[in-house]
Structure 1
Amino acid sequence: MKDLEPELKAQVVELCNKAVEAQEEERFHASNRDLQKVYELLQEPKAEWKAYTWLISSMADNHFEQDEYLAAFEKFEEVFTLDAESNKNAYLCLRRGQCALELEHAELAEQLLSRAFELEGKELFEDEHSKYLKLAKQA
């Protein structure tokens, strides 16, 4: 994985901090605008930069929070394609599974939600709609 030049890294860190702050304030569009700026600053091939999967995951999560399930699903798919360790991240499995369910991909949703449940248990599902935990337990 590549690291950024110091000047570019400073810009990226500042934008990422703004994006996280906006996300914490539930200003998801604003967060994604800042994350998109980070994305545009990265040189090709973008996937080789450190924290690229974090960037794409954060964008996906913002889309999910805005009920933009297809956009979120596509971003999560990219993360899982780029990072083989993603299937060991309970939160990523949860979010990708939730998107799959909302897009009526029931079989994939069941696999991902049950994986999230196996990795972290019901605590992960506490703030989520009960339908997700119900499906996770079916597997």
Structure 2
Amino acid sequence: MELSDELYDQIVSKLEQGDQYAEAGEYNKAIEKYESALNLVPLQKENWEVSLHIYTAMADSYFNLGNYQQANNNYEQALKCPDGLGNGYVWLGLGETYYELENMDKAKDALMSAYMLEGKEIFEDEDDKYFSLIQDSIG
């Protein structure tokens, strides 16, 4: 199943507008654009590849606003999308939100998944506290 070119272009356009707001630090405006992109995606949103990008971008914006529960919900949705489970960045974000929500067991599992998929490099631009959580578990 594929989206029509026209619909895909509309979705990507909203996604790109959201990214521009996010890069400018205007996360609430970014989330509005991401939500309008997601609203264009046909139902069973997690069946569409483009949803992975939308949920991840939304999660990042919520994370930057300090709304860790909403960020967590969106990373969880991203995992259900095509290629979601194999995406180390999604696992990293999920782990960081669990950490901030003080659910250390789930944080550890998710961060370990990110590490297994991507190696230590994925933690390079992140706060050291996240890698520290799994450091002892790495052979």
Q: What's the TM-score, normalizing by structure 1? A: 0.85
2:131 counterpart residue number:
133
1:102 counterpart residue number:
100
Structure 1's unaligned 5+ residue stretches are none
Find the residue that maps to 2:85 and give its secondary structure.
helix
CA distance in 2, matches of 1:91, 1:118: 11
1:42 paired with 2:49, answer: no
Q: How many residues align?
A: 137
1:118 counterpart residue number:
116
Structure 2's unaligned 5+ residue stretches are none
Q: Equivalences for 1:33-112 in 2 at 5 Å?
A: 33-83=32-82, 85-112=83-110
1:18 counterpart residue number:
17
CA RMSD of superposed structures (Å)? 1.9
The answer to whether the 8 Å contact 1:3/1:50 transfers is no
Could you report, residue by residue, the CA deviation over 1:54-112 in whole angstroms, capped at 9, with x for unpaired residues? 111111111111111100111111222344x4332221111100111111211111111
The answer to whether the 8 Å contact 1:15/1:34 transfers is yes
CA distance in 1, matches of 2:53, 2:111: 20
The letter for the 2-side match of 1:107 is D
Cα deviation for residue 121 of structure 1 reads 2.7
1:27 counterpart residue number:
26
2:3 counterpart residue number:
3
Cα deviation for residue 5 of structure 1 reads 5.1
Q: What's the TM-score, normalizing by structure 2? A: 0.85
More helix by share: 1
Q: Percent identity?
A: 27
Greater mean alpha carbon deviation, residues 15-24 or residues 41-50: 41-50
